[in-house]
Amino acid sequence: MNLERTGPKFDLTQYLDARQKSLLVVDEILAKLQEGMSEKDGKNLINECFLKIDSKKKWHPSKFRIAKNTQKSFKEESDESIRLKKGDAVFIDVGPVIGEHEADLGRSIIFQAESSSKEHLEFINSSKELFFFLEKKWQLEDLSGEKLYLEAEKWCQERALLFNPKMAGHRLGDFPHALITRESLAKFKEKPKDMLWVLEIHILHPELQIGSFYEDILIKNDSSELLS
């Protein structure tokens, strides 16, 4: 079975447009965070911002995590009593469907970062740093999805950080990609094809008791492969 095929509705331009629109919405969401928000408030904000671009459908539920809840995996329940305060870690995970094409983005920030420590700021960027480290290795080397995640664990161990293997990557495409495969990128034994796989990175800090999350599709500098 070809796990890297796309569905009959797939259009590369529309697919990349869904990602670009989602990037802008994510920036808007993060700019609108307010002290005292609950995670429910955050998810409502995500819905409101995507509705502005007429995106009502999601291929997975939105996640909005605050403070110690940023350590939790996708399916774990949050402590709903937590409210956003200055210096808190925040991550969002969105999976909208735009023009019948899926997007999937995860980003982490420190809210009102001037109220936080250098250690918190460096850690919150660790998932992004690891993502681009792995993406570069994938661009230059013949690494399978499985090997990418082994590299991720090694990178975290070298920095005394904890890598969460439960938050593994997956396919993406025209909605719903699940009709083609639900394969985890961490178990994929081939080199992932350009732009069709999401690399998810979730790192936990053993002392700060927060998590850092980043996800996006793997993109080559020259993305002609998908067009062939």
User: What pLDDT, in 10s, does the model give residues 34-85?
Assistant: 999 999 999 999 999 999 999 999 999 999 999 999 999 988 999 999 999 9
How much is the mean pLDDT over the chain? 95
Residue 45 CA to residue 43 CA, distance in Å, equals 5
99, exposed or middle or buried, with CB in 10 Å at 0-12, 13-18, 19+? Answer: middle
* 135 within 8 A of 217, measured Cβ to Cβ: no
* 197 within 8 A of 171, measured Cβ to Cβ: yes
Check pLDDT > 60 for residue 211. Answer: yes
Q: In this predicted model, what pLDDT tens digit does every residue of 18-29 receive, in sequence order? A: 999 999 999 999
* 194 within 8 A of 226, measured Cβ to Cβ: yes
Residue type (1 letter), 50? F
Q: How confident is the model at residue 221 (pLDDT cuts 50, 70, 90)?
A: confident
Per CATH, the number for 12-227 is: 3.90.230.10
* Extents of the domains making up the chain: 12-227
* 204 within 8 A of 71, measured Cβ to Cβ: yes
Residue 61 CA to residue 224 CA, distance in Å, equals 31
